[in-house]
Structure 1
Amino acid sequence: MAAGLNIAFFGSSLVSAYWNGAATYYRGIVKALHDRGHRVTFYEPDAFGRQAHRDMPDPSWATVVVYEGEGNDGVRRGLDAAASADVIVKASGVGVFDELLEAAVPTLGGPETLRIFWDVDAPATLARMHADANDPFRRLVPQYDAVFTYGGGPPVVKAYTALGARRCEPIYNALDPSTHHPVPPDDRFAADLAFLGNRLPDREARVGEFFLSAARALSDRTFLLGGSGWGENVDLPPNVRPLGHVSTVDHNALNRTPLAVLNVSRESMAAVGYSPATRVFEAAGASACLITDDWEGIDWFLEPRREVLVAEDGRDVAEHLQALTPESSRKIGERALKRVLAEHTYDRRAVRVEELLTGELVRG
C-alpha cells in the first residue's frame, strides 16, 4: 500500500461543531492527512441539528458526504461507496447507525484494505463493554486491523488489547496552528476566567466543582461559561455570564481575551488520564493561560506551573486566579504556545497515522 491513500471516514460531523466536541479533532487530523497527499471522504449523518448549525462550508481538503439520519438507505449507500477505499475508518459516537456501521466496516473491501476503529471516547466505550459481556462490539474489536484512540495512554491500550484488539494506538489531540492561533483581545470575552464545553452528564458535576465553586468564592471576579446546555435549569452565580454555543470562529478570541481559561475533563477522561481535550491545545495555540483539572499524564503534553496551571479543585482554581497577573498570564501562555508548536501539532499526529497505515499495519 503506497502513499496517497484513499480513506473513507465515518464520523459524527466534520462541518459542524454543534453538540459535536470531536469536530476540531477530526478537522485537524483530516486536514493534516490531506496535506500529506492522502484523500479523505468523510461520511456524516444529517442528525441532531448539526447540518442546520454548520460552522464551516465543505472544505477543500476533504470530500463530505451527508447521508440521511433516518432510514438505512443513505448509510448503506455510503458503505457501498466506501468499500473501494484503501482505508475505512469507523469512529465512535457517530450518533446514529453506530451498531450497523461497527458491524459492516470489518466486512468491506479486499485483502489489502485496512479497517480502523477510531475511538474518540475510549473510556466510555470500554466502560460500556466491561459492564456488558454481551455488548455486540466485544466480538467485533478483533475484526478491525487496529483501534486508534483520541487519547487514554497505557491504560486504554492495555484494556483494548485485553479485549482482543490486534493493535491499539493513541492518536492524541493536537494543534492546527492555521486554525487556532493568537488574535487581538475581544471585549465581548473580557473576563477573569472562561470555560468552554457542552453540558454533558459526566462533565456537569466537575464544572460545578472547578468552575462554579471558584466563581462563588470570587464574587468580585467575572466568569464566562460557553457551550450548549448551560442556560437551562442551572443555578449560575451572578458573576457568571452564559454564552451558549460559541462558534468555532470565535474560539481564538474567547481563549485569548480572559486572564485565564479553564479546562475541565469529563469524569471518565480524568479517571483514565492521558486524555487532553481539544481545548487544551486550542487554548495553548491561542497563547492563553490555561488552568486545567489534574489528571495523570498531563506532563506528557505541558509542564505544570510553567506552561499550564493544575488545579485539584475549585479552591485551587480560585487561588490560581488570585495569584495571576496580566504579565504572569502572558508568560504562561507564550511558553505553552512554544511547546505545542514544537511537539503537538496535527502535522506530527498525521505523520504517525501515515506510518501506521502505510507501514506497520500493512499486510503481506
Structure 2
Amino acid sequence: MTKALDIVFLGLSLSSSWGNGHATTFRGLLRALNKLGYRITFLERDAPWYALHRDLRDPDFCELLYYQSVDELRRNHQQKIHQADVVVVGSFVPEGRAIIDTIASLCTGQFCFYDIDTPVTLARVAQDDCDYLARRQIPYFDVYFSFTGGPTLERLKSEFGARRAEPLYCSVDPERHHRDGNTIEWDLGYLGTYSPDRQRSLETLLLEPARRLPDRRFVVAGSQYPLDITWPNNVARIEHLPPADHAGFYSRQRFTLNVTRTSMIAAGWSPSVRLFEAAACKTPIISDRWPGLDSLFPASAIQTAGSADDVTRILLGQSDRARLSMARQAYSLVLARHTGAARAYEFTSVLTQARQINPALALDVESAA
C-alpha cells in the first residue's frame, strides 16, 4: 500500500450501544479495517440521549469526533471529509438529507451509503417520509451497502437508481464473543431493544413457552420495554446489557432466541447481529423464519420456530448432544464467514471493484485488502 487510506464514517452512534444496534456493527467493521492499516474517523452527532449512555468514549481503533449541527460539521470537519479517500454515511443519521448534500459537495473520494435498516429505509423513501435519505440522493453513491441482501439489491438499482448495491451484513468479533466458563442459568433467552413489531413474536416464541413451562427459566435483556408488559414469574429481566457482557449472557443460555422485525422478515436476507454473536459463543439458536435464513445457516446449524408449540417441543425434546452439535456447526460457519475481518475484506473488495473517481484509489484499496 503506497499510503494509509483515510476513511470517514458518519453514523448514528459509535459511542453508545444503549438502544442502538448500529454501534455494535460499526465497532466490528471499523476495528477490522483499522487492523488492515486504514486510518478511520467516525463523526457522530452529539445527541443528549447517547451522551448520557456512552460505553465507548475513547476507541483505540479510530478517531471519534462529535458535531452538533450540519453547519458545525461543515465548519469543523470539511477538510477531513474533503481529503478522505472514502466517506461512508450510515442510515438514521440525524438530519441525514442535509448531511448527504453537504458531504456530496465536499467529498473527492468514493462516496458510499451504509444502510443498516434497508427495508425500513426503502419503505420511507418510497413515501418521501425518510428524514435521513432522499430518493434523489441514492444515485449520488458509488456504492450502496445494504444490511439486506437477496432481491432487495436488485430493487435498489432498478427502482431507486443505485449505481451499485452490495450486501454488507453485520458481523461478530470472536475475540470479544466466545464461550466463557459460566454455567447454564436459563433455558431460553433473548437480547434486543424493545420494538413493537417484534413484540408479538417475542410473546409467541418466549413468553408463552415460559407460561407453559413454569419449571424452566427464561430471560429477556434489553431497554425501552413498556412498563405495562406482564412478565411471567420465570422470566428474568435485564434492563440493559452492554456489548462487553453479551458473551457471558449467551454462555448462560441453553438456547437463545432470534426475533426479526416485520419489515426485515418481508424483505428476507436480513440477519441480526445476535445470530452471529450467539453462534460465536457456541450457544444454540432458535430463530423465527424468514427468506434467506437458510443461505446463512443450514438447517443442521439452527432451529426455527413459528409457534409456541415449536419452541416448547425444542426445549423439551432436543437432546444435549444434538443441541451442542448444532451449535458447533453454527460456530464454525460464523468464524469462517461472518467476522469483522470478513466484512472488512468484503467492504474493501467492493471498493476495489467499483468505478473510481480517482483511479489511484483502486490500487491503494486493493493493496490494503
TM-score of the aligned structures, taking structure 1 as reference length: 0.91
Pairing 1:265–2:260 present: yes
The whole-number CA distance in structure 1 between the counterparts of 2:258 and 2:97 is: 31
Partner residue in 2 for 1:199: 194
Residue 127 in 1 paired to residue 123 in 2? yes
Matched position secondary structure for 2:326: helix
Change (3 A) 1:217 1:134: closer
> Which stretch has the larger CA shift, 199-208 or 292-301?
199-208
User: Following the alignment from structure 1 to structure 2, what is the Cα–Cα distance between the partners of residues 137 and 143?
Assistant: 11
Partner in structure 2 of residue 163 of structure 1 = 160
Specify whether residues 325 and 358 from structure 1 end up closer, same or farther in structure 2 by C-alpha distance, changes over 3 A only: same
Residue 210 of structure 1: aligned partner: 205
Contact residue 3 and residue 38 of structure 1 kept, 8 A: no
Q: Which amino acid aligns with 2:31?
A: K
Matches within 5 A, 1:49-198: 49-68=49-68, 71-77=69-75, 79-80=77-78, 81-94=80-93, 96-110=94-108, 113-132=109-128, 137-150=134-147, 152-161=148-157, 162-185=159-182, 190-198=185-193
Corresponding residue number in structure 1 for 2:323: 329
Q: Residue 50 of structure 1 aligns to a residue in which SS?
A: helix
Partners of 1:12 and 1:103 in 2: CA distance? 17
Pick which of 344-353 and 273-282 moved more. Answer: 344-353
2:303 is matched with which residue? 309
Instruction: Please show how residues 228-267 of structure 1 align to structure 2 within 5 Å.
Output: 228-230=223-225, 232-267=227-262
1:49 partner SS: helix
8 Å CA contact 2:90, 2:114 repeated in 1: yes
Aligned partner letter, 1:198: T
Q: How far off is 1:219 after superposition? A: 2.2
Quote the offset at 1:154 in angstroms: 2.3
Q: What RMSD in Å do the two structures reach over aligned CA positions?
A: 2.1
Asked whether the 8 Å contact 1:206–1:266 carries over to 2, the reply is no
Task: After TM superposition, give the deviation of residue 265 of structure 1 in Å.
Answer: 0.7
Count of residue correspondences = 355
1:146, 1:167 within 8 Å by CA — same for their partners in 2? Answer: yes
- The answer to whether the 8 Å contact 2:275/2:285 transfers is yes
- CA distance in 2 between counterparts of 1:267 and 1:223 reads 23
Give the partner amino acid of 1:109. C
Partner of 1:33, secondary structure, is helix
Greater displacement, 5-14 / 337-346: 337-346
Aligned counterparts of 2:3 and 2:189: Cα–Cα separation in 1: 42
CA distance in 1, matches of 2:17, 2:220: 17
Partner of 1:357: 351
1:201-249 per-position Cα deviation (integer Å, ceiling 9, x unaligned): 3222222222222222222211101000225221212221111111111
- In the TM superposition, residue 343 of structure 1 has moved relative to its aligned partner by 2.1
Please state how far the C-alpha of 1:261 moved relative to its aligned partner: 0.5
| Code of the aligned partner of 1:244 | E
Residues in 1 aligned to 2:47 and 2:207: alpha-carbon distance in whole angstroms:
32
Distance 1:134 1:42, change over 3 A: closer
User: Counterparts of 2:219 and 2:130 in 1: how far apart (Å)?
Assistant: 43
Whether the 8 Å CA contact 1:145–1:361 is kept in 2: the answer is yes
The DSSP-based 3-state class of the residue aligned with 2:186 is coil
Distance in 2 between the 1:286 and 1:356 partners? 29
Residue 179 of structure 2 aligns to a residue whose secondary structure is: coil
Q: Residue 288 of structure 2 corresponds to which residue in structure 1?
A: 293
Partner Cα distance (2:76, 2:356) in 1 = 24
Matched, 1:318 2:318: no
Q: Which of 321, 328, 343 is 2:337 aligned to? A: 343
Name the % identity. Answer: 35
Distance 1:64 1:275 in 2: 28
TM-score, scaled relative to structure 2: 0.90
- Contact 2:100–2:137 (Cα < 8 Å) also in 1: yes
* TM-superposition CA deviations, 1:308-351 (whole Å, max 9, x none): 11112232122111123443332222221111112222212211
